[in-house]
Copies of this chain bind each other. A is one copy, B any other.
Amino acid sequence: MEMINSGNQEKTSTGPAGSWGFVKSLPGKLKSCAVETVKKTKKIGEDDPRRIVHSMKVGLALTLVSLFYYFRPLYDGFGQAGMWAVLTVVVVFEFTVGGTLSKSINRGCATLLAGALGVGAEYLASLCGEKGEPVVLGLMVFFLAAASTFTRFFPNVKRKYDYGVLIFILTFSLVAVSGFRVTQILQLAHQRLSTILIGGATCMLISIFVCPVWAGQDLHNLVAANIEKLASFLEGFGHEFYGPSAVDGSGAISSKNECKPSFLEAYKSVLNSKATEESLANFAWWEPGHGRFRFHHPWKQYLKVGAMARECACLIETLNRYVNSKHQVASEFQIKIQEACIKMSTESSKALKEVASAIKSMTFPSSGVETHTQNYKAAADDLKTILETCSLPTEADLQEIMPALVVASVLLDIIKCIDKISLSVHELSRMAGFKKPKSTATALPEKQQQTTLLHRGIVKPVNDITDDDDHVVIEVHGTTSQDSPEMKNVHPPQGLGEKK
């Protein structure tokens, strides 16, 4: 009941507003409920207008196939089987192109295979005589259904072929059992396959050519947006934790950045993004090349970047607990370290923003990432120096300095995490063949040439600390690769390693 009501209300809401007049005569409760639903409908539509387009696409595909079924000339050719075209459209049309393709292809292949097996089973069973046949058929259906159902628990099968296995069981049972009744089994198979093909092809064509929603593009955008959310938090954090005066004094954040609390909450959605990312990556796997994505774009690498973003979001969750303590009077110690901390936070935020915009524009991360990486590393070094040399009054209350110290420590962890994110985005750029900015590297020593070969475009680090050579290659030490064993084979870009 409920779903039907929503359906009708939704439909009405897309009509002219004037048609709501009749609601007034109904009791107030029903009216407010309807108004609520209209508002919700509007919000859902506004949040992602592609949803409205998708609904119309489903309507279009279904109408086309229904009319195909309706008109006699076609109907005569296919008989009742035309029904399967309608059924196919309803069940395979998904929001993304990848989802539709995955279901259509699974359905087509599974029907073909299961049909062939079913005919075989039917033939085998018929050899066993009148009495043996139902027993043999029953046993075969039982074992095949049980075995196929079990394969659905295999993670690989579950990810890509779950729907195919379902259709396989379905078709096999139908063919094996109904085969006994319908003598023209081959004609039936031909009809059914043709109609499924018609339904599937209609879905695929409409899904690809009418305002397509690419799962790959969505995954790409989601990963970039998640990195941006982390950046927004880090940008706003200095302001919130140390107070506006501290930040403005350091000049690190321009005055136009007003830290809204929403900036400080956006990262929470990153924490729970795993399921969405994985399903998008699964669908993206099925999509043909589109726009600047090739057929086998490295979708798995997006999952790696996403996992690191979640790790970083977890640290940010810890950091966020200290934002509430902003109203305390800054201790002497906090003032000593706050400049370095604010710099770490804002520079790492800028580095993340550069990384996110590189993903968005599908280019190698710009030299800006390099610059900001150098800057936050320098700030981290400054912080470490302050911590080493800082003298506290002997009767210091450690509870007072604890928040500042914990924040500093978590920020140090966060920048390690950001190093890993940059590294895996670099790897992504390489694997996906992102565009490279014009190289300025010429006549480098051989070893350096090798190092920069993969990372053309970040050859010229703008190093504001100790560089006296434009093309210096900073050796990469254990820190980053220790932290991420899966990254061991990745050639790290310059400057991301820690200096000794």
Interface residues of A (CB under 8 A from B): 1-4, 6-8, 10-11, 14, 40-41, 44-45, 51-52, 54-56, 58-60, 62-63, 66-67, 69-71, 75, 80, 83, 86-87, 90-91, 109-110, 113, 134, 137-138, 141-151, 153-154, 156-157, 161, 164-166, 168-170, 173-174, 176-178, 180-181, 271-272, 274-275, 310-311, 314-315, 317-318, 321, 384, 387-388, 390-399, 402-403, 405-406, 408-410, 413
Main secondary structure of the interface of A (DSSP, over half): helix
Pick from A10, A59, A67, A384 the residue with the most CB of B within 10 Å.
Answer: A59
Inter-subunit contact B399/A410 (CB<8 Å): no
* Copies of the chain in the assembly: 2
Minimum C-beta distance from A202 to chain B (A): 13
Inter-subunit contact B387/A157 (CB<8 Å): no
A168 surroundings in chain B (CB, below 8 A): 3-4, 7
Inter-subunit contact B392/A173 (CB<8 Å): no
Inter-subunit contact A146/B58 (CB<8 Å): yes
* Bound Cα distance from A164 to B1, whole angstroms: 10
A58 surroundings in chain B (CB, below 8 A): 145-146, 149, 169
Closest to A52 in B: B150
Closest to A408 in B: B402
Closest to A80 in B: B80
Inter-subunit contact A62/B169 (CB<8 Å): yes
Inter-subunit contact B145/A11 (CB<8 Å): no
Minimum C-beta distance from A43 to chain B (A): 10
Inter-subunit contact B138/A178 (CB<8 Å): no
A142 surroundings in chain B (CB, below 8 A): 59-60, 62-63
Minimum C-beta distance from A30 to chain B (A): 18
A69 surroundings in chain B (CB, below 8 A): 177-178
A317 surroundings in chain B (CB, below 8 A): 311, 314-315
Inter-subunit contact B3/A151 (CB<8 Å): yes
Inter-subunit contact A387/B397 (CB<8 Å): yes
**Chain A to chain B: the 6 pairs with minimum beta-carbon distance, closest first:** A59-B146, A11-B147, A3-B161, A55-B150, A387-B398, A59-B142
Inter-subunit contact A3/B164 (CB<8 Å): yes
A150 surroundings in chain B (CB, below 8 A): 7, 10, 41, 44-45, 51-52, 55
A44 surroundings in chain B (CB, below 8 A): 150, 153-154
A166 surroundings in chain B (CB, below 8 A): 90-91
Inter-subunit contact B405/A387 (CB<8 Å): no
Closest to A170 in B: B90
Between-chain CB contacts (< 8 Å), 29 pairs? A1-B109, A3-B151, A3-B161, A3-B168, A4-B168, A6-B154, A6-B156, A7-B147, A7-B151, A10-B147, A51-B150, A55-B147, A58-B169, A59-B141, A66-B138, A66-B141, A67-B134, A67-B138, A69-B178, A83-B174, A86-B177, A87-B174, A91-B166, A271-B314, A275-B275, A315-B317, A392-B392, A403-B409, A405-B406
